[in-house]
Amino acid sequence: KERSNIVLSRKLFIEKENEEKKAKLIGSIKENMVTEGTIESIVPYGLFVDIGGIEGLVHVSNLAWGRIVDPQKLFKVGDKIKVKVIRFDEEDQKVYLGIKQLTEDPWENIPDSFVEGSTVEGTVKNIVSYGVFVELKDGLEGLVHLSEISWDKFVKASKILKPGDAVKAKILSVSPERHRIALSMKQI
């Protein structure tokens, strides 16, 4: 009063507005619904996505049917993406989202050409201590165990292969129930 000044704050107004939007959104969230969101942050275990006032988690296992090693290589903060609500915990107000659920599961329709003994071509996706993951078709990967890379027993996969390399392999076994395809490069 003594300086004839009025101090205003938008914070309370914005907080109230956000709470109203959040309450409205909570009432409309249903499992299996598809919505658009904005990536707020990227962590090693997934993405936090704002779906209109509520932040949901897309776990790394729900990003794609294949293995994702580093989500930061595929997404950026601020990207607008389509997501599916997998689960909504109303009590804790937690939303679990998925991206891979927007596409068909490649393990349900494995091509007829993927049978034991057949030869396939693919791309090296990931090299791990026990072998190499090879993408055979979008979202469908097989493992070449370290013992099936070469007849040389002391070979290191990382010395002869790198992600992105095209390789040929023989299918040793196919297990759609367990989502596994065992491959061999040395038998080619």
Q: Which pLDDT score, from 0 to 100, does residue 170 have?
A: 95
Higher pLDDT, 140 or 113: 140
Amino acid at 25: L
Averaged pLDDT, 109-136:
89
Tokens standing for residue 170: 């023989």
Q: Which pLDDT score, from 0 to 100, does residue 66 have?
A: 79
Of 67, 44, 45, 179, give the one whose Cα is nearest residue 134. 67
Q: Which pLDDT score, from 0 to 100, does residue 159 have?
A: 87
Tell me how far apart the alpha carbons of residues 139 and 78 are, in angstroms, rounded to a whole number.
Answer: 25
The per-residue pLDDT for range 143-156, each reduced to its tens digit, is: 999 999 988 878 88
pLDDT class of 49 with cuts at 50, 70, 90: very high
pLDDT class of 116 with cuts at 50, 70, 90: very high
Q: Which pLDDT score, from 0 to 100, does residue 58 have?
A: 93
CA angle 75, 76, 82 (to 5 degrees): 60
Q: Which pLDDT score, from 0 to 100, does residue 112 have?
A: 76
Answer whether residue 167 shows pLDDT above 90.
yes
> Is the C-alpha dihedral spanning 114, 115, 121, 127 positive or negative?
positive
Answer whether residue 29 shows pLDDT above 90.
no
Q: What is the pTM of this model?
A: 0.68
Query: Please, are residues 155 and 188 in contact by the beta-carbon 8 Å criterion?
Result: no
Tokens standing for residue 151: 């007849």
Tell me how far apart the alpha carbons of residues 183 and 133 are, in angstroms, rounded to a whole number.
Answer: 9
Q: Which pLDDT score, from 0 to 100, does residue 20 have?
A: 72
Answer whether residue 120 shows pLDDT above 90.
yes
Answer whether residue 7 shows pLDDT above 90.
no
For 37, counting Cβ atoms within 10 Å of its Cβ (0-12 exposed, 13-18 middle, 19+ buried), the class is buried
Tokens standing for residue 14: 């914005």
Averaged pLDDT, 1-11:
83
Contacts of 44 by beta carbon, 8 Å cutoff, 6+ apart:
60, 70, 71
Q: Which pLDDT score, from 0 to 100, does residue 155 have?
A: 81
Averaged pLDDT, 72-87:
90
Tell me the average pLDDT of the chain.
87
For 123, counting Cβ atoms within 10 Å of its Cβ (0-12 exposed, 13-18 middle, 19+ buried), the class is middle
Q: What single-letter DSSP state applies at residue 101?
A: G
Amino acid at 133: F
Averaged pLDDT, 8-32:
77
